[in-house]
Chains A and B, each alone.
Chain A
Amino acid sequence: MNDPSALLGLVVLGPLALVLVTGVLPERWLPPVGLAGAAGTSAAALVLAAHVGRSGPVGHDLAGWGPPLGIVLRADGLSALFLALTALVGAGVTVYAASDRAATGDHPRFWPLWFAVWAGLDAVYVAGDLFNTYVALEVVGLAAVGLVALGGGPAWGPALRYLFVAVLGSTLLLVAVALVYAQAGTLELLAAGERLASSGWDSRWAAVLVVVALGLKAALVPMHAWLPPAHGSAPTAVSAVLSALVVKAAFFVLVRMWFWVLGPEPVLAVVLGLLGALAVLWGGVLALAQRHLKQVVAYSTVAQMGYLFLLFPLTSAAAGDPEVLRAAWGGTAALVVGHGFAKASLFLSAGTLKSVYGTDSLSELARVVRPLPSVVMGMGVAAVTLAGLPPSLGFAGKWQLVVASVGSGQWGWAAVPIGGGLLSAAYLLKPLTVMLREPQDRARPLPESRSASLRVRYAPLLLALVPLVLGLAGPALPDLATTGGPPGGGP
């Protein structure tokens, strides 16, 4: 009974049980039960990830029916990576949310909705079935809309816009799944991929549908307009979760469909690469122009997601060269994990400053005599990862992307990580200088309106240090990312 494949079900059904429990419990029990639940869920996910890292992909036939009839759960290297990221960042955010009510929108509904997002994310990462991926994305989407709505009055409008985008994306994804099923005759991911590859069916239309659907949900430029208002107006813990984790689920499904099911499309890959580069540029410029800290961090999410989309042109230009493929996959994995930790830490820092000083507008924060040192330190360390300075994971990721673009002879793509690094350094240092400079008019210092507990002040710093330590992990990350790699695109 305790074979590791049962863990595949536990990482999803565990948080689902917690959704029901925290949906019914009275309010004072929620933080302790939430902490215990988060510990259990992340432990299960980490054990599963370690198992996959050690002995390769693992599968589990649900309800006893093997594929193609029943639904199969499967975790390969990529799933393990995303599961571990969700577990660690999720645990960190849960500790922060348990110690500061304001971070949860001051509403007991945070806990069941947060565990619903967590369960949905794990369900997406372990799904081995096309339609199951769609339903799991729906759980994540609706719970995320609910979480944004916790931000009260000003958040209801952005939450509604987020709902429209999520549903439009899901509908187009469902149509793409229907087309694949009509052609392949099975909903199981790997089998559908093999049958499509051998059937010679022109899957360009389905690929366009999937790219538009998941580009909407991953806020790829020009479909990014919904993200900053939604992530900006959500409560602190919610914005951290949305930017660090939820946006990545859509990218994960795009990678699954692109490499495992539909097969790479060279022309569309270049288009995705260009849109990614545009995202890095446009997101960075907009982040520079913002006057509120949470908006800067939200636009930085749009920018940093752009790097991930370089995976598609680099792998399709690699023409099977294992060295280039390993660098491309390793680089993307490092950027995914680095961005996850750093963005969560940055949003928690911004939220702490906002709850302590009552505002996140940079001009007001400039009047603070000596802002919380540990929080500002956390922002600085997170900026190191996001800007891609050594020894952080950001640097390791960007370095491998440059190696991949040089190795595949497409020098152009190397400009994106390098130029992007400068741009992100610019828009991250702007708020930092505001914090560290002497306030001009000492006459009107901005007082602390609320005190912040110890855990609240040091959680962002802790989260920001993790990608620095992981930066020294060397080959561990690329190995994990390419375990059970895709048939065509992987080494």
Chain B
Amino acid sequence: MGDDPVGLLDVLLGLAVVAGAATALTARRRMGAVVSFLVLGVLLAVLWSRLGAPDVALAEAAIGTGVTGALFVDAVTRGPPAARPPGAVPGAVPGAGARAGVSGALAAVLLGAGLGTAFAGAAGAGAAPGGLTGQVLGRMDVAGVEHPVSAVLLNFRSYDTLLEVVVLFVAVLSVTATLGEERPRHPAPAARAATLVWFCRVMAPVLVLVAAWVLFAGSDRPGGAFQSGAVLAGALILMDTAGLGPGPDHGRLLRVALVVGPAAFLVVAAGGLVAEGEWLALDPVWAGGLIVAVETLLALSIGVALTVVFLALGRGRVSPP
């Protein structure tokens, strides 16, 4: 697909993505920037599926646009009112003057041109197309899962995934550190709108079901722990917005749920060393079961981690661990 001449659809999609990014970056008001960013997220999800990457499209929609979008909208709408920089237009973005615009645009064009030639050079002469595709597809029989991307994530390059889950855990630690000693003041759970409570009671179980389906689909088609974690985070955030979320006394439960994913990964890593002589080694016989077990706990930890980050942003109801 890579080297046939570019089609109309690709040109339109590329231009739409660049236009969306330009709007998001140069919007005059914060809310406008965030809305454009959400539109850009949707366009990117379409772009990834167009480039033959369904896993990435699913992750972009669930995490890149879903959770990140929720974080941005919450930051813009619930921020302290005075925080919005005073300007003629409420929420005007300072520094968006004409002179800055021209020099910024010039710099962007130059940088873009430079990067463009670099990328074209890399993809051009003598590049090694396909990279490790053959290696991965050749070893799928002992990988424990049928879907190549899940096999790479949780078996061939599982060390990267372990470090990445630690990055998410570190994010939760940093976020809860800024809350300081005093527990966030829990606003008395105001009577939530009846429709919201009803909607949450109906949708939360459905969302958890979708999260479970996405998780277990990951072994033979696009899906997996990260996308399922994001859907789970959506369910938990919805429950919290409707006032049904975990209360302050669930702090310890949340803390355990956060740690259980990476902890299981470390236990499997040590088990691999003891059994096979190398860290993270998975015996082909046990690989399938171990991967699904670790992936389930990972999805739980990722879902809770994303929710705690969201709640800490709004000094949410729950007392983050």
Identify the A interface with B (CB < 8 A): 1, 3, 6, 9, 13, 16-17, 19-20, 23-24, 60-65, 68-71, 107, 109, 112-113, 116, 119-120, 123, 131-132, 135-136, 138-139, 142-143, 145-146, 149-150, 152, 156, 175, 178-179, 181-187, 195, 199-202, 205-206, 209
Contact = CB atoms under 8 A, between A and B. Distances in A.
Given A63-B158, A116-B166, A182-B127, A13 B279 contact: yes
B280 interface: yes
A71 B278 CA distance: 11
27 contacts: A1-B274, A9-B279, A9-B280, A13-B270, A20-B263, A20-B266, A23-B173, A61-B278, A62-B279, A63-B158, A64-B278, A68-B135, A69-B135, A71-B157, A112-B173, A113-B173, A113-B174, A113-B177, A120-B163, A132-B159, A135-B164, A138-B163, A142-B171, A146-B170, A181-B131, A182-B131, A201-B125
Contacts of B169: 19-20, 23, 116
Interface string B99-125: 000000000000000110111011101
6 cross-chain pairs, A with B, having the tightest CB-CB distances, nearest first: A185-B128, A146-B174, A205-B118, A109-B177, A9-B279, A64-B281
Nearest to B172: A23
Interface of B: 114-115, 117-119, 121-123, 125-128, 130-132, 135-136, 139, 155-160, 162-164, 166-167, 169-171, 173-174, 176-178, 180, 255-256, 258-259, 262-263, 266, 269-270, 272-274, 276-282, 321
Nearest to B278: A64
B272 A69 contact: no
A426 to B, nearest CB: 37
A468 to B, nearest CB: 36
B178 A149 contact: yes
Contacts of A23: 169, 173, 255, 258-259
Contacts of A202: 121
Contacts of A62: 158-159, 278-281
B131 A113 contact: no
Contact of B126 (A64, A156, A199): A199
B140 to A, nearest CB: 11
Given A23-B259, A185-B132, A201-B126, A9 B266 contact: no
Nearest to B143: A65
A5 to B, nearest CB: 9
Contacts of A199: 126
A64 B131 contact: no
- Select the residue from B128, B136, B173, B269 with max chain A CB neighbours within 10 A: B173
B125 A1 contact: no
A95 to B, nearest CB: 22
B167 A1 contact: no
Contacts of A152: 180
A183 B276 CA distance: 33
Contacts, number: 173
Given A13-B266, A149-B177, A179-B119, A63 B131 contact: no
A132 B132 contact: no
Contact of B173 (A146, A201, A206): A146
Nearest to B262: A20
Contact of B262 (A6, A16, A69, A120): A16
A162 B177 CA distance: 17
B278 to A, nearest CB: 5
A209 B122 CA distance: 13
B132 A69 contact: yes
Contacts of A143: 170, 173-174
Contacts of B156: 63, 65, 69-70
Nearest to A113: B173
A481 B237 CA distance: 51
A183 B122 contact: yes
A135 B160 contact: yes
A472 B269 CA distance: 41
Given A63-B156, A186-B131, A139 B118 contact: no
A123 B170 contact: no
A208 to B, nearest CB: 8
Contact of B279 (A6, A109, A119, A186): A6
A9 B163 CA distance: 12
B272 A183 contact: no
A102 to B, nearest CB: 14
Contacts of B170: 19, 112-113, 116, 139, 142-143, 146
B158 A109 contact: no
Contacts of B255: 23-24
B126 A71 contact: no
Given A70-B157, A138-B167, A186-B131, 10 more contacts: A3-B277, A24-B255, A63-B278, A64-B280, A64-B282, A109-B177, A113-B170, A146-B173, A205-B122, A206-B122
